[in-house]
Amino acid sequence: MMIDPKTALWLNVAYAVLTGLTAPALQAAGIAHAEQVIGIAALIAMPLNIVLHAVSSPLAGPAVK
């Protein structure tokens, strides 16, 4: 199974946006340990991101001219 480089790029963008929105949202909701929640989520997402890159296509990504 191969993942298109553009798909991998957009999944990483979505992950970055969701991570950036989640921490302030948790803090605004009054969750005392929002930073730890985001840190644990990042530790879970890190291996998933590695797997995503392991199965991505060997083709050049969308930023390559």
Closest by CA position to 63, among listed 2, 3, 20, 10:
10
- Residue 60 located in a structural domain: no
Each residue of 2-16: b (16+ CB within 10 Å) or e? eeebeebeeeeeebe
62 in any annotated domain: no
pLDDT of residue 65: 67
**Is 36 domain-assigned?**
yes
5 in Cβ contact with 57 (< 8 Å): yes
Per-residue pLDDT of the chain (65 residues; tens, 9 = 90+): 677 777 877 887 888 777 777 778 888 888 778 778 777 877 877 787 777 777 766 777 666 66
User: What pLDDT score does 61 carry?
Assistant: 66
pTM, to two decimals: 0.55
- Structurally, the chain folds into a number of domains equal to 1
Domain with 18 in it: 5-54
Phi, psi of 34, rounded to the nearest 5 degrees: -60, -40
Query: Which residue type sits at 53?
Result: H
Q: How many CB atoms lie within 10 A of CB 56?
A: 17
Q: Is 63 part of any domain? A: no
pLDDT at position 38 = 77
Residue 65 lies in a domain: no
